[in-house]
Chain A
């Protein structure tokens, strides 16, 4: 992957809004874990919003790489980092829409992992098939 900043943003927004919501629905309906409800949608939203900011940091890191690329392994590390950050905010500061008492770490971890995996796989497969120009434009599908 050799994304540009706009490419990262466009891909993130598209995939969170489609694959992200799709994967969150079972959680929202309470089909997977004992918890259910809009808390999962709020989490998804926060990860997406903060991610817009983190993407700027990732692009900055890419500038130190000769190939200006972003290996898949880095995407995993980024995923872990973004999870830790959101967790930190939820626990220490508290985020609107995610009440402290409703929050359960296990459900969050499961939900987050599924969303991350689904989005990662979608970016490796479906994006290439539906948007053949996507990988030549640094991730811009528009």
Chain B
């Protein structure tokens, strides 16, 4: 009789995307960086080999196997950085249910319970409400899904449109809906579209040849809403560089200079000089300068008028995009509202996709809590509007359990600190999956950590935007990209002296505590408080954490599958998806399989930018400067291909356009 092989469930978080992986493996399990470096069999048993991409993980790092006495043991197989069990470096250690294994930057939870009755471990989502453009937990499926091609409900777009990879102009005209023709279409209507259109205008494209499709005509509407929800009031500073100016492709004058000038005009010379010193001495001799949110939004408003954005913007929800038979693209969009239905086709030669995050990540155990209790007040996601939580805490006091440790968690801690100034009776428990005693390492450098907060001025190392690291990633082979992104990415927060002071104060005064553990489930007790059950490692028991509120500060999700529009495109045209589940694009951000060549009309092209492209050859895609880089690359390749009406951004054109920016004159 053959004994059943032992099986383990390993849980870890992909540090780049925040995705939770929770697969089950048969023992023995080998962990390492390179698949081929791990043995396929040990003692004639087949090995489950798990590749973990990071330069801190050795090629063959460790093995988990069952011993003759039925215990499960992890053995370090000569790794450079060591294997840690529950924070202690071990060469060999017996594993218990709930132990946390640390290999490089990966914190892997061990579970012996492999029944499928456990709560689903993949991330659940909060989608955006198409009417309000804000996160809405009542929405189960995004409303903009193209209807399934097998069900003919007379919906829009028509089945003939959805089924075809290429639609003829004749069939579109015959569908009976308004058809508009334009040269350039930008889908999204947010900051990505804004930066793209801004650059097109600077490079000579006329405003009447561009159409932008989006939900709100202010390009920063959703971004601003998410900022306010995640506790960044307008006077607070964004995590962005002084010369990352979405309204100004040159980065001059940078926000620090503009702010210093404003301060000078107000007669505050000392503040003005301090700002100038900051950008000179940052980050080593002074704290990194970051612009105020309201200044950034105001500057975007000015540029919005300058380039004629409002005449280009059209309200609409894009339902589907298909290639046409004459080298263009047909975009089916809906302008319907409560009063009337209206569906339109927009035909464009060049399409730009910058649809951003389709959804917010929500921890599955919290999602399960909400579904069982229908309680949407006690358990919230930091990106939802949750001002009520702070109001209640300020009025009545209480306790908060905070999950996640990135920049949003820091903002929430700051807000809670401010709430405490009104009501001292507020306790904060910060639940992290695992300790982070040291930061990531790459070559000779290491990130700094304090109190398990890992610091980095921006969401990627600075050289990822335009320095050496950008070149490294650009030249990396596709197999090597995930490793680089893991090494450089991860959950970090800004090294702000005020935040660090708040954390230290909280820890020493006792109202802020940090605890570690893997959550099993969240329930409501008889007093209507939330109870979080976490696996405790040393005592092999269970710990219960009670709190009045739980705030999930874990992040946003931009996988292609989550966006119905992108998912439809990927399926219809067999588009390549990269290692992080997002659109694979060329170095100039073109979506290769969407090129629509026609003999008579030249090539139609589709470009993508922003969060939907993360995972390829450019890391900081989801940032102001990163969006500008993507758009610069795309425009450069269009100009090189001698696309009509796009001029190359030469020295002369750049200077003239910059002067027009200075004098607030239309680009042309």
Contacts and interface: CB of A to CB of B under 8 A. Distances in A.
Interface of A: 2-4, 59, 62-69, 71-74, 76, 124-125, 128-133, 135-138
Given A4-B468, A69-B283, A135-B251, 7 more contacts: A68-B461, A68-B463, A71-B282, A132-B250, A133-B632, A133-B649, A137-B466
B651 A131 contact: yes
3 tightest A-B CB contacts, nearest first:
A2-B467, A68-B463, A67-B462
Contact of B457 (A67, A128, A132): A67
Contacts of B663: none
B471 A4 contact: yes
Given A63-B444, A71-B282, A136-B632, A128 B468 contact: no
Contacts, number: 98
A125 B250 CA distance: 9
Contact of B654 (A62, A66, A67, A131): A131
A124 B250 CA distance: 11
Given A2-B467, A135-B466, A138-B471, A66 B447 contact: yes
Interface of B: 243, 249-252, 279-285, 442-448, 456-457, 461-463, 465-471, 629, 632, 636, 649, 651, 654-655, 658
10 contacts: A63-B443, A65-B445, A69-B462, A69-B463, A72-B279, A72-B281, A130-B654, A130-B655, A132-B632, A138-B468
Contacts of B279: 72
A141 B281 CA distance: 25
Nearest to A64: B444
Contacts of A68: 445, 461-463, 467-469
A129 B252 contact: yes
Given A65-B445, A128-B251, A136 B629 contact: yes
B548 to A, nearest CB: 38
A135 B249 CA distance: 11
Contacts of B470: 136, 138
A59 B282 CA distance: 18
A136 B443 CA distance: 22
B446 A2 contact: no
Contacts of B285: 71, 73
B252 A128 contact: yes
A137 B279 CA distance: 21
A73 B520 CA distance: 50
Given A68-B461, A73-B280, A129 B467 contact: no
A61 B655 CA distance: 34
A76 B284 CA distance: 13
Contacts of A132: 249-250, 632, 649, 654
A2 B447 contact: no
B466 A67 contact: no
B467 A3 contact: yes
B466 A2 contact: yes
Contacts of A65: 445
B250 to A, nearest CB: 5
Nearest to A65: B445
A62 B472 CA distance: 15
A69 B280 CA distance: 13
Contacts of B445: 63-66, 68
A63 B446 CA distance: 11
Contacts of A3: 467
A2 B283 contact: no
A138 B467 contact: yes
Nearest to A120: B280
Given A72-B281, A129-B250, A4 B632 contact: no
B467 A66 contact: no
A125 B632 CA distance: 19
B462 A74 contact: no
Nearest to B443: A63
A129 B655 contact: yes
B507 to A, nearest CB: 25
A71 B283 contact: yes
